[in-house]
Amino acid sequence: MKRLFLGLPIPDAHIDAIESYTNIYKADQHLQEAKWTLRENYHSTIFFLGEVVDAHIPEMQSILRGVAARMTPFELFCERIEFFAHKTPKMIWVRLQRSLAFLEINQECKKFMKPYLDMTQEEEMNEPIPHITVARLRKPVDPKHFSFKPFSMPPLPVNELCLYESLLTPTGPSYTILDRYPFNL
C-alpha cells in the first residue's frame, strides 16, 4: 500500500517568491510554532487518493497518462496568502483563484480514479480550493489579531499532473513524485 495524491508541481521561481515573502513572518511571535513547508514539498493538490494497493498503481498510471493527454495547459493566478480554517486556522496557504480548468482536472481524476478508492459521498462532492500550503500551525493564531501583507507572484503555469507518494515521518510529511503526466502540448 502507498499513500498517494495527485498534484501540480510548483516551479522554483514561484517557490523563491513564496519563501522570500514568508521569511519576514518566520520570526513573528504569532507564528513561532508554525511548521513551514520544506522547499521540496511545495505542490498544489488536485486530488488526495489515500492508501492505494500497489498492484493497482500501474493501471492507474496508464489511466492518468490518458487523462493528462486530454488536458490543455492553463495558468493559476494568486489571490493572496491567508490562514485556512478561519475560526481556528490550521494552515497558512497561498490561495489560488478557482478556475474551470482546475475544477475539470479534479473532476476527471475523481471520475477515473474512483474504482480504486474508498471515497465517501462527502469527499466526492467537495469542490477543491486551489492552494499551496506554506505552513501548518501547531498553535492556533487568532486571525483577528494578525494579517498578511498583500502578496503576488507570476501566474502559475500548469502543464502536467504528477502522482505523488506521501510518507508520514516523525519530522513531518515527505512527498516524492512517482510519475509525471504532461498535458496535451
pLDDT at 118: 75
What residue type is 62 in one-letter code?
S
Q: Are strands 156-158 and 43-52 parallel, antiparallel or unpaired?
A: unpaired
Q: What pLDDT, in 10s, does the model give residues 7-34?
A: 999 999 999 999 999 999 999 988 988 9
The more confident residue out of 140 and 7 is: 7
pLDDT at 120: 56
For residue 154, CA distances in Å to 16, 104, 138, 151 come to 11, 22, 30, 11
pTM of the model: 0.92
